[in-house]
């Protein structure tokens, strides 16, 4: 219809969302499955089903991961999509090596140090609404380049083949669930601020209605036919630049929308980076994660090294959680002081992940009393929200993918590229708002803002034992860390480790916990001196921390595939050959 120049009235669009009485309700969400020969788990049943079909058709873990991610761009468009970026972690069964791809967004080359300062007041823009809903927060997207790089290195399908099922899903539609509707409702004011976003997401869809995105289907079809170069150059690229530099605001919106700095040369020059993974040994296991520009691997790794100085298996749950919170605070202090884009910051990664440094940091912990927060960073000689999505894939050959991707806040920048069906990120809000030369996360042209994404693969004797990741802004780090603690140290099964109530300590005065966590452990941890508050009291509207997916690799090829049973509406675990 777009190609024919037809304008579809909103009333007709509304009619398209009404389901027939006999409509297929869509695939069911099952949070845990066991089986063999490969598996896919994500937050969405349509996406997991598409990835599973790729595996069953003979594709490998990378093929299925890209297909699943492309489908999440359809059904989870407010958390992921080709307008964003992410980090791809891959275990190669043939070589026994873990590899990573940094597909993080970058700041435009013309972005000044004071980009987040309001020129009229001389003060930093408010995070909400100015920075969150803006062109100035849009970074150069890296997701599509990540997919192409992963397929080139390890896949068996072309990018076009990997996009086929997602393109069909966007064209034919999917059933709206409570989560999708809630995310539209949460962002209605922002979506109605832009002509393009209002057309696609400007009204609340009914739960159970069929939601189609033909513009995104056409975009996927274009990329399938011509490759990523059509995204990073040519007409589509020019349209992204136009949307960032002159946002398509409506005449009725009262939201301030600062313009951005994206240019064609930024898109043409974007490259993913192959990075060596972070690595620590923990309880005889090898834990691999994402190196800077993400802080996930270094912060999780440092906290694990600190915790290894304690016999958590012999501790009470409250004692173990006290130590977990203290290790989190210490590692977050170092994250803020030392971790940034290594192209601009000399990150002392080897020291941060050393046992010697962990012992120095652990010496500050009192097993009976919480440290006053915030704590200071460690002494290292000179040498740096909230939504995202995650998927975990394994194939019958033993290859594993842990992939976290995002467009930053729920709804990203709020800007749908006109006629293209996808939202642009607001990832540059991860930079520090005010420029400080001592800040490793200061704004610099071409720089990648510090991320908290922590896709993690754990090996035992050189073979996969566990793969886990989560969305959740900076709580990603504590979510992954707590799942590892639950599974490795506290004797929980993988489904129990993911289902357990969560708390996060990011070197702040208060520990923020889900209401179930506060009810169960709040008083006991208060006796240690922790100020435990309910997460929802601080972040109104959600009581959830993270939304993890994971696969555990058991004896005789048995896979335990797990997603959230409740958080974010529950996830979807699938397996190629179910166990009896």
Distance CA 116, CA 131 (A): 7
Phi, psi of 320 (to 5 degrees): -65, -40
| C-alpha to C-alpha distance for 548 and 561, rounded to whole angstroms | 11
Q: What is the pTM of this model?
A: 0.94
By the 10 Å C-beta count (0-12 exposed, 13-18 middle, 19+ buried), 355 is classed as middle
Cα 257 to Cα 76: distance, rounded to the nearest angstrom: 24
Q: How confident is the model at residue 434 (pLDDT cuts 50, 70, 90)?
A: confident
Task: Give me the active site residues, please.
Answer: 388
Q: Check pLDDT > 80 for residue 436.
A: yes
Q: What is the mean pLDDT of residues 210-239?
A: 97
Q: List the beta bridge partners of residue 140.
A: 106
Is the pLDDT at 245 greater than 60, yes or no? yes
Instruction: Report the pLDDT averaged over residues 261-266.
Output: 98
Higher pLDDT, 536 or 71: 71
Cα–Cα–Cα angle for 125, 388, 531, rounded to 5 degrees: 75
Q: Are 280 and 245 in contact (CB under 8 A)?
A: no
Categorize the per-residue pLDDT at 2 as very low, low, confident or very high, splitting at 50, 70 and 90.
very low
279 - beta bridge partners? 288
Cα-based distances in Å from 373 to 349, 497, 509, 529: 24, 27, 5, 11
Residue 3 has pLDDT above 80, yes or no: no
What is the mean pLDDT of the segment spanning 53-69?
98
490, 321 contact by CB (below 8 A): no
| Interval 454-478 mean pLDDT | 97
pLDDT at 381: 62
CA distances, 396 to each of 36, 61, 77, 98, 224 (Å):
7, 9, 30, 17, 26
How much of the chain exceeds pLDDT 90, in percent? Answer: 88
Pick from 51, 24, 91, 147: which is nearest to 573 by CA?
Answer: 51
Cα angle at 355 between 552 and 457, to 5 degrees?
20
Closest-CA residue to 294 (of 427, 115, 175, 189):
427
Note the pLDDT of residue 448.
97
Q: What confidence tens digit (pLDDT) does each residue in 343-395 have?
A: 999 999 999 999 999 999 999 999 999 999 999 999 886 433 456 899 999 99
Q: What is the DSSP letter of 293?
A: T
Mean pLDDT of the chain: 93
The dihedral region occupied by 39, where left means phi > 0, alpha psi between -120 and 50, and beta the remainder, is beta
Cα–Cα distance list, 240 to 97, 141, 233, 353, 430 (Å): 37, 10, 10, 39, 21
Instruction: Render pLDDT for 148-179 as a digit per residue (tens, 0 to 9).
Output: 999 999 999 999 999 999 999 999 999 999 99
CA angle 21, 25, 27 (to 5 degrees): 165
**Per residue in 473-500, pLDDT tens?**
999 999 999 999 999 999 999 999 999 9
Per-residue pLDDT band at 25 (split at 50, 70, 90): confident
Q: DSSP characters for 474-523? A: THHHHHHHHHHIIIIIS---HHHHHHS--EE-SSSSSEEE-HHHHHHHHH
* 387 strand-pairing partners: none
Identify whether the C-beta of residue 430 lies closer than 8 Å to the C-beta of residue 274.
Answer: no
DSSP assignment of 198-229: HHHHSSPPPTT-EE--HHHHHHHHHHHHH-TH
CA dist 526 and 548 (Å) reads 27
């Amino acid at each position: 219809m777009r190609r024919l120049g037809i304008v579809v009235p909103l009333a007709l669009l509304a009619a398209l969302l009404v389901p027939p009485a006999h409509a297929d309700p869509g695939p069911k969400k099952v949070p845990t499955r066991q089986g063999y020969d490969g598996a896919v788990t994500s937050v969405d049943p349509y996406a997991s089903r598409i990835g599973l079909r790729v595996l069953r058709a003979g594709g490998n873990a990378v093929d299925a991961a890209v297909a699943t991610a492309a489908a999440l761009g359809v059904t989870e468009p407010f958390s992921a999509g080709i307008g964003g970026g992410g980090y791809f972690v891959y275990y190669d069964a043939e070589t026994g090596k873990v590899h990573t791809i940094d597909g993080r967004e970058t700041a435009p080359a013309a972005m000044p140090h004071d980009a987040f300062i309001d020129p009229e007041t001389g003060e930093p823009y408010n995070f909400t609404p100015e920075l969150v809903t803006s062109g100035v927060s849009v970074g150069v997207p890296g997701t599509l380049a990540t997919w192409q790089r992963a397929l080139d290195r390890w896949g068996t399908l072309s990018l076009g083949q990997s996009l086929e099922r997602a393109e069909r899903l966007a064209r034919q539609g999917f059933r709206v669930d409570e989560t999708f509707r809630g995310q539209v409702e949460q962002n209605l004011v922002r979506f109605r601020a832009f002509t393009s976003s209002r057309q696609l997401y400007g009204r609340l869809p009914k739960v159970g209605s069929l939601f189609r995105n033909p513009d995104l289907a056409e975009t996927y079809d274009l990329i399938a036919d011509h490759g990523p170069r059509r995204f990073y150059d040519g007409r589509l690229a020019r349209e992204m630049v136009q949307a960032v530099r002159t946002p398509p605001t409506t005449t009725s919106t009262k939201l301030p929308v600062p313009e951005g700095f994206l240019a064609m040369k930024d898109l043409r020059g974007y490259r993913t980076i192959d990075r060596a993974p972070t690595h620590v040994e923990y309880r005889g296991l090898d834990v691999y994660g994402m190196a800077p520009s993400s802080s996930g691997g270094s912060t999780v790794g440092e906290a694990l090294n600190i915790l290894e100085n304690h016999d958590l298996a012999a501790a009470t749950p409250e004692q173990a959680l006290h130590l977990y919170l203290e290790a989190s605070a210490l590692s977050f202090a170092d994250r803020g002081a030392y971790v940034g884009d290594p192209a601009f910051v000399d990150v002392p990664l080897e020291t941060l992940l050393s046992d010697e440094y962990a012992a120095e940091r652990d010496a500050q912990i009192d097993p009976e009393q919480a440290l006053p927060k915030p704590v200071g960073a460690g002494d290292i000689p000179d040498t740096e929200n909230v939504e995202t999505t995650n998927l975990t894939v394994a194939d019958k050959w033993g290859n594993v993918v842990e992939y976290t991707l995002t467009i930053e806040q729920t709804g990203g920048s709020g800007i749908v590229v006109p006629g293209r069906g996808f939202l642009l990120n607001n990832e540059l809000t991860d930079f520090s708002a005010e420029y400080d030369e001592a800040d490793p996360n200061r704004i610099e042209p071409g720089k990648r803002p510090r991320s908290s994404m922590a896709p993690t693969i754990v090996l035992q004797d050189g073979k996969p034992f566990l793969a886990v990741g989560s969305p959740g802004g900076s709580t990603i780090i504590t979510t992954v860390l707590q799942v590892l603690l639950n599974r490795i140290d506290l004797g929980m099964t993988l489904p129990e480790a993911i289902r357990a109530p969560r708390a996060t300590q990011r070197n702040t005065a208060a520990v923020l916990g889900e209401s179930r966590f506060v009810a169960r452990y709040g008083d006991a941890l208060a006796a240690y001196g922790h100020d435990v508050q309910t997460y929802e009291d601080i972040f109104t509207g959600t009581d959830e921390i993270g939304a993890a997916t994971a696969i555990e690799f058991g004896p005789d090829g048995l896979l335990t595939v797990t997603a959230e049973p409740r958080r974010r509406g529950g996830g979807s675990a699938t397996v190629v050959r179910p166990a009896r």
